[in-house]
Amino acid sequence: MWAHFVQTVRMSDLETAPSTDDETTAALTLFNEYVDADRERTRREKRVQKAERAKDDAAALVRKLNESGSAEQRASAEAAYRDAQEALKAIREGREPEPKAADEAPADEPAATDEAPADEPAATDEEE
């Protein structure tokens, strides 16, 4: 019986998309909207989890440096913790967290300055 069915199906019949009625189209549209919303919810949950981890890591660093760290290190860690808290709050509210100010250098990189390094003499107008 199947052999007869296979023989009667033409390739052109398989290459066209099946036509759908209005009810099926509406159901597929609704399903696709649900899938998109679910993906967005999942992305948002992952962003919240990532921000929570960053805040927890910053808090752990603050605790560690409170025990044995310089005042500058503690201040930097506390600022990073506050930034992480603000970012988490923004993400939970559905907003994009504000980027760090451009004039702030990351803690592990020295700040760029216009001054010449101490071991190199500064260029003056008299040398030219």
pLDDT-derived band at 88, boundaries 50, 70, 90: very high
Copy the structure tokens of residue 122.
């500064």
Question: Nearest to residue 84, comparing CAs of 109, 59, 66, 110?
Answer: 59
Q: How far is CA 80 from CA 58, 73, 104, 128, in A?
A: 6, 11, 11, 44
Decide if 73 is inside a domain: yes
Q: What is the pTM assigned to this prediction?
A: 0.55
Decide if 125 is inside a domain: no
Decide if 14 is inside a domain: no
Decide if 126 is inside a domain: no
Decide if 75 is inside a domain: yes
Domain limits for position 74? 24-98
Decide if 45 is inside a domain: yes
38/62 Cα distance (integer angstroms) = 36
24/55 Cα distance (integer angstroms) = 46
The number of distinct structural domains making up the chain is 1
Decide if 65 is inside a domain: yes
pLDDT-derived band at 57, boundaries 50, 70, 90: very high
Q: Which residue has the higher pLDDT, 42 or 120?
A: 42
Give the end-to-end CA distance of the chain in Å, rounded to a whole number. Answer: 98
Lowest mean pLDDT among 12-26, 40-54, 75-89: 12-26
